[in-house]
């Protein structure tokens, strides 16, 4: 048997036997994640097969997709989920976007996270295997602590070089999505490596892994290292971990080497993620809304980049600039260091931590004539509201520069 | 039986858009299937109809309602060159038949055509074209049991490792 990939090792450890690529296996899961919509759909399936969850301490229910409730219908759904959590002794989380909270508080390297949300791969930034599933799988995992999986192929992406001035991890992943296409990694794991990855801190890696969902991947993963340790220490929850790696003779379906020093600010044009273009091609496109938020890009580091560009300036008159910190921790840090006060003075609307406008439920829904530049991960038709609205995806830097000008703008001129 | 034809990368926001996707009632979900992308679909779809689509059908959000709504509409099978991962899994768990065929066959299908699924593959009864079809062994196995939840009422989850044989 050839050497093993990182994800093959993690899955093997969770199956209790050595697995080959392509094997179907039943594995134990370390964490089950679901939120205020996917949990609602998991409750009935759960009751079909069980009365008590396998271990309430391993189940994480987040109220983030529509919190606080934007309608009576959602309030009823929330109530149903709260009853389920109370009956089962499961802790509820009201502190922001599920994927950000898992990274801040819970996920450790080499673990397996089953998440009833497509952006669960975000947590691959912690060196864990974090995969998105549906509500039936979440119900089964809540009942049994287990899931069936097929051991995936891996695409290894080696990042080399240094990020140019004004270019961020978001630009890298939008560029990768353009090159690989929105199904380029379908069913596969994207494992990041190369000399540049050591320079990417965990927040940057969260952005990279988050958008692996958009190229079809089962997950993105960055092997745990000194950056992972530093992040866990900053969160006050470091515990020693094994630095698992793919074996030198592991089988990769593809190995891609990408020189990140050649990247430019990149904007994904509607209506698909893989329609990324260099900013020059869309510069000057008028916009009506800027959304700085989501599990992709609204951590403190993202707010800092936006602040650097916008400091001392005002949001263009008539533009809705919505800032939605990813978590309570980010919100509180940005309150204490003054970012939120500064953004407010510039004319921003500050929304509470959560998914907010990203999925068109509330706090920034788009109308027919709206054109939005967003730091989130999906620009599908109708994603944020009206199917006639247009959504462009970009880095927080591009979003900030665009907020100042009321049109898609290159952030580099504000960074000099 | 009729064919509903769709393009590439039909995402789950198009199947059950987020704004309508706030009920756990299957019949209500069936009414919103493709509500903005193809408004006549939910009104006119009949039990036994096929969806024929381009690559990467079901990409995007993990919402299982996309599968639930199409099952409840009575869709007999979705025939496409490729499917997105979570949608594929949700279909396997729920017993919605997904059939992979090559792009050339898909290109020759029009909505007025009659299709049939055979042991040997997919046949276009109108043009006479046929193509070998791929179906997940796990899907076939679970479909026999009425889906994953039904399977688990009488089996341990570990038995899934052997169920495909």
Q: What is the ipTM of this complex?
A: 0.95
Give the three-class secondary structure for A59.
strand
Nearest-neighbour CA in chain A from B76: distance (Å): 21
Tokens 């066959």, located at residue: B105
Mean pLDDT, residues A391-403 taken together: 98
* Shared-domain flag, residues B89 and B151: no
Question: CA A284, CA A407: separation in Å to the nearest integer?
Answer: 5
DSSP A262: G
Distance from CA of B148 to the nearest CA of A (A): 8
Q: Which domain holds residue B160?
A: 137-165
Q: Are A124 and A108 in contact (CB under 8 A)?
A: no
What domains sit in chain A, N to C, each tagged with a CATH number? Answer: 6-260 (3.30.499.10), 267-414 (3.30.499.10)
Neighbours of A22 (CB within 10 A): 9
Report yes or no: B65 at the A interface, CB cutoff 8 Å: yes
Indicate if B163 and B118 belong to the same structural domain: no
Residue A110, by phi and psi: left (phi above 0), alpha (psi -120 to 50) or beta?
Answer: left
Structural domain total, chain B: 2
In this structure, is the dihedral angle defined by the CA atoms of residues A105, A109, A112 and A116, taken in order, positive or negative?
A: positive
**Tens digit of pLDDT for each residue in A308-331?**
999 999 999 999 999 999 999 999
The CA distance from A282 to A261, in Å, is: 21
CB A40 within 8 A of CB A81: yes
Using a CB-CB cut-off of 8 Å, the residues of chain A touching B161 are 24-26, 148
Tell me the average pLDDT across A283-294.
98
**DSSP code, position A250:** B
- B155 and B97 in a common domain: no
pLDDT confidence of A294, banded at 50, 70, 90? very high
Task: Count, in order, helices (H) and strands (E) of chain B.
Answer: 9, 7
Do residues B126 and B150 both lie within one domain? no
H or E segment to which residue A33 belongs: strand A31-35
Whether residues B77 and B153 fall in one domain: no
The rounded distance, in Å, linking the Cα atoms of B109 and B93 is: 28
Q: Looking at the predicted structure, is the pLDDT value of residue B150 above 60?
A: yes
Q: Which residue has the tokens 């679901």?
A: A34
> What mean pLDDT value characterizes chain A?
97
Q: How confident is the model at residue A347 (pLDDT cuts 50, 70, 90)?
A: very high
- B94 CA to chain A: closest CA distance, Å? 8
Q: Average pLDDT in the A246-274 region?
A: 97
Is residue A344 over pLDDT 90? yes
Asked if B84 and A37 come within 8 Å (Cβ–Cβ), the reply is no
CATH of the domain at B79: 3.20.19.10
* Element housing A203 (H / E): helix A202-210
Question: How many angstroms separate the CA atoms of A180 and A253, rounded?
Answer: 14
Asked if the C-beta of A383 comes within 8 angstroms of chain B's C-beta atoms, the answer is yes
**Which residue matches tokens 């069980």?**
A50
B156/B97 same-domain check: no
Mean pLDDT throughout A160-175?
98
Instruction: Decide if A38 contacts A115 (C-beta within 8 A).
Output: no
Judge contact between A137 and A116, C-beta under 8 A.
yes
Same domain, B94 and B109: yes
How many percent of chain A have pLDDT more than 70?
Answer: 100
Give residues with Cβ within 8 angstroms of A223, minimum separation 6. A6, A127, A191, A193, A243, A244, A245, A246
Judged by DSSP in three states, A130 sits in strand
Indicate whether B96 and B56 sit together in one domain. Answer: yes
Gyration radius of chain B's alpha carbons:
16
Residue with more model confidence, B164 or A137: A137
Please determine, for residue B20, whether its predicted confidence score (pLDDT) is greater than 90: no
Q: What is the pLDDT of residues B86-122, one digit of tens each?
A: 999 999 999 999 999 999 999 999 999 999 999 899 9
pLDDT band (50, 70, 90) for residue A100: very high
Q: What is the pLDDT of residues A185-229, one digit of tens each?
A: 999 999 999 999 999 999 999 999 999 999 999 999 999 999 999
Residue B153 has a pLDDT of 96
pLDDT of residue A228: 98
Per-residue confidence band for B165, with pLDDT thresholds at 50, 70 and 90: low
Residue B142 belongs to what H/E stretch?
helix B137-144
How do strand B121-124 and strand B115-118 relate by DSSP bridges? antiparallel
| Closest-CA residue of chain B to A383 | B13
Q: What is the mean pLDDT of chain B?
A: 95
**d(Cα A284, Cα A287) in Å, to the nearest integer?**
9
Q: Do B56 and B127 fall within a single domain?
A: yes
Q: Which residues partner with B134 through β-bridges?
A: B100
Q: How far is CA A211 from the centre of its chain?
A: 6
Query: What single DSSP character describes residue A221?
Result: E
- Angle, vertex CA A286, rays to CA A282 and CA A292, nearest 5: 85
A265: contact with B, CB 8 A cutoff: no
Least confident of A92-106, A160-174, A395-409, B22-36: B22-36
Residues B61 and B14 grouped into a single domain: yes
The beta-carbon neighbor of B60 closest among A120, A218, A378 is A378
Same domain membership, residue B143 and residue B122 = no
The one-character DSSP state at A385 is B
Residues B45 and B7 in one domain: yes
């Amino acid at each position: 048997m050839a050497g093993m990939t990182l994800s093959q090792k993690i899955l093997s450890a969770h199956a209790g036997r050595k697995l080959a690529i392509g094997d179907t296996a039943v594995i134990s899961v370390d964490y089950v994640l679901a939120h205020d919509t996917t949990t609602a759909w998991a409750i009935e399936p759960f009751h079909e097969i069980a009365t008590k969850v396998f271990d309430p301490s391993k189940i994480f229910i987040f109220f983030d997709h529509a919190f606080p409730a934007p309608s009576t219908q959602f309030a009823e759904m929330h109530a149903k989920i709260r009853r389920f959590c109370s009956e089962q002794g499961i802790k509820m989380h009201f502190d922001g976007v599920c994927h950000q909270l898992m990274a801040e508080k819970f996920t450790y390297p080499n673990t397996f996270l089953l998440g009833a949300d497509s952006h669960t791969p975000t947590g691959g930034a912690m060196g864990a295997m974090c995969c998105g599933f549906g509500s039936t799988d979440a119900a089964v995992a809540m009942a049994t602590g287990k899931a069936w999986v097929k051991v995936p192929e891996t695409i290894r992406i080696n990042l080399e070089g240094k990020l140019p001035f004004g270019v961020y991890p978001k630009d890298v992943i939008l560029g990768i999505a353009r090159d690989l296409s929105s199904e380029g990694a379908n069913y596969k794991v994207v494992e990041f490596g190369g000399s540049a990855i050591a320079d990417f801190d965990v927040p940057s890696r969260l952005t990279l892994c988050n958008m692996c969902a958009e190229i079809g991947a089962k997950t993105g993963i960055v092997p745990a290292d000194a950056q992972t340790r530093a992040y866990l220490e900053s969160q006050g929850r470091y515990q020693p971990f094994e630095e698992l790696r793919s074996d030198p003779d592991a089988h990769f379906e593809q190995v891609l080497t990408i020189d990140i020093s050649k990247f430019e600010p990149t904007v994904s044009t509607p209506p698909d993620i893989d329609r990324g273009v260099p900013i020059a091609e869309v510069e000057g496109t008028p916009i009506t809304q800027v959304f700085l938020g989501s599990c992709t890009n609204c951590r403190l580091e993202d707010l800092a980049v936006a602040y650097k560009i916008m400091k001392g300036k005002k949001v263009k008159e008539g533009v809705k600039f919505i800032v939605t910190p990813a978590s309570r921790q980010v919100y509180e840090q940005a309150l204490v260091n003054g970012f939120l006060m500064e953004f407010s003075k510039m004319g921003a609307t500050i929304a509470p931590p959560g998914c907010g406008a990203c999925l068109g439920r509330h706090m920034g829904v788009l109308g027919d004539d709206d054109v939005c530049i967003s730091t989130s991960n999906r620009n599908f038709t109708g994603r944020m509201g009206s199917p006639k609205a247009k959504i462009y995806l970009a880095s927080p830097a591009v979003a900030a520069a665009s907020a100042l000008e009321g049109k898609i703008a290159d952030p580099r001129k504000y960074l000099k | 039986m009729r064919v509903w034809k769709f393009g590439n990368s039909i995402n789950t926001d198009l199947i059950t858009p987020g704004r309508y996707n706030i009920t756990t009632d299957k019949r209500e979900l069936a009414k919103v299937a493709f509500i903005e992308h193809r408004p006549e679909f939910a009104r006119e779809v009949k039990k036994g109809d096929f969806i024929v689509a381009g690559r990467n059908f079901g990409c995007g959000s993990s919402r299982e309602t996309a599968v639930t709504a199409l099952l409840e509409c009575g869709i007999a099978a979705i025939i496409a060159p490729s499917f997105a991962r979570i949608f594929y899994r949700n279909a396997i768990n729920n017993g919605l038949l997904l059939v992979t065929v090559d792009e050339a066959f898909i290109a020759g299908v029009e909505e007025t055509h009659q299709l049939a699924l055979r042991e040997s593959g997919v046949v276009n009864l109108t043009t006479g074209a046929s193509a070998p079809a791929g179906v997940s062994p796990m899907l076939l196995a679970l479909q026999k049991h009425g889906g994953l939840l039904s399977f688990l009422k009488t089996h341990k989850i570990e038995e899934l490792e052997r169920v495909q044989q």
